[in-house]
Amino acid sequence: MNTAKEEVKLLLDQLPDECTLEDVQYHLYVVEKIHRGIERAKTEGTLSQDDVERKFSKWITQ
């Protein structure tokens, strides 16, 4: 697993040279959200596609 510093370096290398600080902040935010989601899925579990479709179908049919 990469350290935070290594991840930031990789991210910066992938962004275009003309990106803004706002672009960098946004991408860091997205990476952090992804990491939190993965950790949450590990600790709390996930739903199957069928379960999600059943839950959403209740909203759609109302």
Secondary structure (3-state) at 60: helix
Residue 19, pLDDT score:
97
The model carries a pTM of 0.73
Helices and strands (DSSP H and E) totals, the chain: 3, 0
Residue 62, pLDDT score:
58
Residue 22, pLDDT score:
98
| Domain regions of the chain by residue span | 20-62
What whole-number distance in Å separates Cα of residue 51 and Cα of residue 44? Answer: 15
Query: Which residues, given as ranges, of the chain have pLDDT below 70?
Result: 1, 61-62
Residue 59, pLDDT score:
84
Both tokens assigned to 39: 């950790």
Both tokens assigned to 38: 């993965």
